[in-house]
Amino acid sequence: MGFSSMTTEVSLSPAMFGIAGLAFPSCKPSLSRSTRPYANYPDFDDEHLYRHTRLVTSAVIAKIHTIGWTVELLKTDTLLAGMRINWYGFLGKKFKDMFGHFCGPVLSALVGLKKPRDHGVPYSITEEFVSVYRMHSLLPDEIVIRNINQPTNQDKCPPIVEKVPMKELLGKEGERRLSKIGMEQMLVSMGHQSCGEVALWNYPTWMRNLIALDINGEDRPDPVDMAAMEERGVACYNEFRRNLLMIPISKWEDLTDDEEVIEAVNEVYGDDVEKLDLIVGEALHAEKKIKGFAISETTFFIFLLMASR
């Protein structure tokens, strides 16, 4: 797909309800930014242009992730201050907006430096980040569609029209259903619906039988998560924590206080805590959480590292 066609067409196939809703408002301005270097620097070759636009788009995503998404998952005043300092520096947003980058990354953060501090490695999402960012339990089993045409008080939710199972909002069928609902009604409905808890045994029912599709809506073989992680060289839970200079667990009680979880992992792994897979111990949220955090400490470490990366 060329740059001209990207500005006018965003493929939603095979679209999922939520992804389509998020893609439309975020992709269009991002794609618009991506075309500017092409117009302003026609001498750029494809690779040069790709790396510039990739960096710009990554920066937009990073900003949303740092000062929007993460502070909602980690609902504490300390985290809010910390993530804003990470993005704007100790001098804060108002100073940076008024005077620009000043006196290095400590006072004005890493964003806006004349030269990136990437140690010669182009920005990319690491395997560790992908491995811990498995938050499927946030997804609901159904979407509650709201009536946007009926006026309501400002502090009340619009009335419910229907509840649509998520399995009906996937692939080609989901794309057709979305076109009938409309983008505005979908976004309003999603804005009034709570997400699920990031916890063990809260995996969406509809995803257990989900068949992955390719861009044409055809079945696509999908590797089992744990096997795929091993192939990519992602360490088991304890070794993963050691690599982050975090304290590994020595018994199941170090992982969780939940007796049911302890019984389950002991049945699978016995007494050998070193065999615990990352996706079970951390990404599937068995790990104890810090007060006010919706995610585990291990995930939080990766989030902090990637926020600065």
> Can you spell out the DSSP letters for 179-234?
HHH-HHHHHHHHHTSPPPPS-TT---HHHHTPPPB-TTS-B-----HHHHHHHTTP
Same domain, 170 and 85: no
User: What average pLDDT does the segment 14-19 reach?
Assistant: 48
Same domain, 106 and 16: yes
pLDDT at position 134: 79
pLDDT at position 171: 76
Residue 37 predicted with pLDDT over 70: no
- Confirm whether 82 is domain-assigned: yes
Same domain, 240 and 278: yes
Same domain, 43 and 97: yes
Which domain-ending residue is among 208, 243, 262?
208
Residue 81 predicted with pLDDT over 50: yes
pLDDT band at 281 (very low <50, low <70, confident <90, very high): low
- Confirm whether 217 is domain-assigned: no
Which domain-ending residue is among 119, 149, 173?
119
- Confirm whether 256 is domain-assigned: yes
- Per-residue pLDDT of 136-185, as tens digits, reads 888 888 999 999 888 777 778 888 999 999 888 887 788 888 888 888 88
Same domain, 283 and 234: yes
What are the b/e assignments for 52-86, b being 16+ CB within 10 Å?
Answer: bbeeebeeeebeebbbeebbebbeeeebeebbbeb
- Per-residue pLDDT of 237-268, as tens digits, reads 999 999 999 999 999 999 988 899 899 889 98
User: What average pLDDT does the segment 5-16 reach?
Assistant: 36
- Per-residue pLDDT of 82-108, as tens digits, reads 888 888 888 888 888 888 887 877 888
User: What average pLDDT does the segment 195-213 reach?
Assistant: 80
Residue 52: closest CA among 96, 19, 3? 3
Same domain, 204 and 230: no
> Would you call 136 helix, strand, or coil by DSSP?
helix
Structure tokens at 155: 């502090």
Question: What sign results for the dihedral spanned by CA atoms 82, 84, 86, 90?
Answer: negative
pLDDT at position 252: 92
- Confirm whether 42 is domain-assigned: yes
- Confirm whether 164 is domain-assigned: yes
Same domain, 112 and 160: no
Residue 232 predicted with pLDDT over 80: no
The amino acid at residue 262 is I
More confident residue, 2 or 234: 234
Same domain, 68 and 156: no
- Per-residue pLDDT of 101-144, as tens digits, reads 878 778 888 777 777 777 777 667 778 888 888 788 888 889 99
Give Cα separations from 53 to 30, 58, 106, 125 (angstroms): 9, 8, 27, 16
Does the annotation mark 133 as catalytic? yes
- Confirm whether 178 is domain-assigned: yes
Residue 38 predicted with pLDDT over 70: no
User: What average pLDDT does the segment 227-236 reach?
Assistant: 71
Strands 160-165 and 142-146: antiparallel
- Give how many domains the chain has, as a whole number: 3
- Confirm whether 90 is domain-assigned: yes
Catalytic entry in 50, 88, 123, 133: 133
Classify residue 121 by its DSSP letter: -
pLDDT at position 146: 92
Same domain, 66 and 145: no
Residue 124: closest CA among 66, 57, 32? 57
pLDDT band at 9 (very low <50, low <70, confident <90, very high): very low
- Confirm whether 36 is domain-assigned: yes
Which domain-ending residue is among 208, 241, 263?
208
Range of the domain at 196: 139-208
Residue 26: closest CA among 51, 67, 63, 61? 61
